[in-house]
């Protein structure tokens, strides 16, 4: 079983959106997947409650119980666990980071978001785990992402080769209890998630058993 931690100390970075989209991509690729929601707001759990299907499983938990929850997920057959964390909670983020095979740090390409990366970089250093920044909500035009990549690399963090553009499908899909790969399987948002998911699979040796683009 592999574990991905999604951390950012800045609110609105897109942690839950990234966690849920990657989870459904993994499910469609044939992996039994669970999302552990450590955020007291329980946005991921709320999304799951309005879905018409059980998978991916979403578990609301406290950071203190994270090792137990991960082990329970493993015992029930989970092959991939994604940990969604709250902003402004360094202890929860550190617990998630220490449990992960790979840490994902979503970041919008704005100056305030990039400056907030410093705290996440410190958490990565303490956890001594592999980490990568995922540029999120990137404007569809312009070269802002290039400047952002250079600034992020100054913190000693790698940037994922796939960036997520600011697209309506990411917002509308969550509103109806879906994600981009379900809402518009052939759309650009779905293609970006699939590309990112496949890159993550190669990074941490996650097996894939089916085409992510298959429809339900």
Give CA–CA dist 199/173, Å, rounded: 23
Please give the pLDDT value at position 209.
Answer: 63
Please give the pLDDT value at position 215.
Answer: 42
Residue 90 lies in a domain: yes
Which structural domain, as residue segments, surrounds residue 78? 2-204
Please give the pLDDT value at position 52.
Answer: 81
- In DSSP terms, which residues pair with 131 in a beta bridge? 103
Tokens 């100054």 correspond to: 154
Residue 212 lies in a domain: no
Enclosing H/E stretch for 104: strand 102-107
Number of structural domains the chain divides into: 1
Q: List alpha helices for the chain, DSSP H.
A: 15-28, 43-49, 66-75, 90-99, 111-115, 117-127, 144-153, 168-175, 180-183, 188-204
Please give the pLDDT value at position 212.
Answer: 52
Please give the pLDDT value at position 214.
Answer: 44
Please give the pLDDT value at position 210.
Answer: 55
User: pTM for the whole thing?
Assistant: 0.93
Residue 216 lies in a domain: no
pLDDT along the chain (216 residues), means of 10: 96 96 96 96 94 92 96 96 94 96 96 92 96 96 85 94 97 96 97 97 82 46
51: closest CA among 12, 24, 79, 18? Answer: 24
Please give the pLDDT value at position 187.
Answer: 97
- CATH number for the domain harbouring residue 44: 3.40.50.300
Please give the pLDDT value at position 145.
Answer: 83
Residue 192 lies in a domain: yes
Give CA–CA dist 171/138, Å, rounded: 14
Please give the pLDDT value at position 45.
Answer: 95
> Could you give the 3-state DSSP secondary structure of residue 184?
coil
Residue 189 lies in a domain: yes
- In DSSP terms, which residues pair with 133 in a beta bridge? 105, 159
Residue 213 lies in a domain: no
Residue 121 lies in a domain: yes
């Amino acid at each position: 079983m592999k574990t991905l931690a999604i951390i950012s100390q800045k609110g609105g970075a897109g942690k839950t959106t990234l966690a849920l989209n990657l989870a459904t991509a993994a499910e469609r690729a044939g992996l039994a997947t669970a999302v552990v929601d450590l955020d007291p707001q329980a946005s991921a759990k709320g999304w799951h409650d309005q879905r018409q299907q059980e998978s991916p499983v979403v578990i609301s938990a406290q950071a203190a119980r994270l090792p137990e929850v991960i082990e329970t997920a493993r015992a029930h057959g989970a092959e991939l666990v994604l940990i969604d964390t709250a902003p402004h909670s360094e202890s929860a983020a550190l617990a998630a980071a220490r449990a992960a095979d790979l840490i994902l740090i979503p970041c919008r390409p704005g100056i305030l978001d990039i400056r907030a990366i410093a705290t996440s970089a410190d958490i990565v250093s303490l956890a001594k785990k592999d980490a990568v920044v995922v540029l999120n909500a990137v404007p569809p035009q312009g070269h802002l992402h290039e400047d952002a990549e250079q600034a992020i690399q100054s913190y000693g963090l790698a940037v994922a080769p796939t960036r997520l553009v600011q697209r309506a499908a990411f917002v509308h899909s969550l509103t109806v209890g879906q994600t981009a790969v379900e809402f518009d399987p052939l759309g650009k948002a779905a293609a970006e998630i699939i590309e990112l998911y496949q890159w993550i699979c190669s990074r941490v040796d996650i097996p894939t058993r089916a085409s992510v683009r298959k429809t339900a």
